[in-house]
Amino acid sequence: MNEALTPRLLDKSTIDRAFPLVRNLVPAMTHERWTQFARPHLSSRSPHWPRGLMAIQNLKGYILGLFVFEVRDDLYENRALCIDNIIVPNMPGRDLVWTAIVDTAEHLAAMNGCRVIRAGLADELDPGDTDRAWLSASLEKAGYSLEGVRAVKRVDSIAATASH
């Protein structure tokens, strides 16, 4: 893939165009669940604290990458751009899609006076060891460093145990 990629902020009329990409990486995802997830991300709490769903698309309008972003108040950095639910499918040209995501995040951070970008990578969207290695190397190559600790505890197993 040797073509121009452009970022596009999704809105109510365009979130359906991202569903095939999401479903490709999360096969159990239903259209209803995708819409339920996407809609709250489409409107900001205020103009000073934007958030949204950003798609990376080719010239024909096909969505090749996706991420959620939000500008948050940060105790240490004042303003932080947080990106997560990053989708970069394992396909030819994936490095170009990743570069477009990184460039777009940096542009969003600069536009919003953010001093730091925090990228969260969900295990559900990064299931294989090769994807995990690729993401780690891609983050480091883009100037990110892995820091902090993020832990997840599934509460459905706790609820099942508590009900017995």
Q: For 11-35, what is each residue's pLDDT tens digit?
A: 999 999 999 999 988 899 999 999 9
- Look at residue 106 and give its three-state secondary structure: helix
In order of their start, the domains of the chain are 6-162 (3.40.630.30)
Angle at the Cα of 104 from the Cα atoms of 131 and 97, rounded to 5 degrees: 35
CB neighbour list of residue 60: distance below 8 Å, 6 or more residues apart: none
**How distant is the alpha carbon of residue 24 from its chain centre?**
15
> How far is residue 63's CA from residue 48's CA, in Å, rounded to a whole number?
27
Q: Give the per-residue pLDDT at 145.
A: 77
On average, the pLDDT of the chain sits at 84
Token pair in block for residue 2? 């040797």
- What is the arithmetic mean of pLDDT over 36-49? 87
Select the highest-mean-pLDDT range: 6-20, 43-57, 143-157: 6-20
| N-terminal to C-terminal alpha carbon distance within the chain | 54
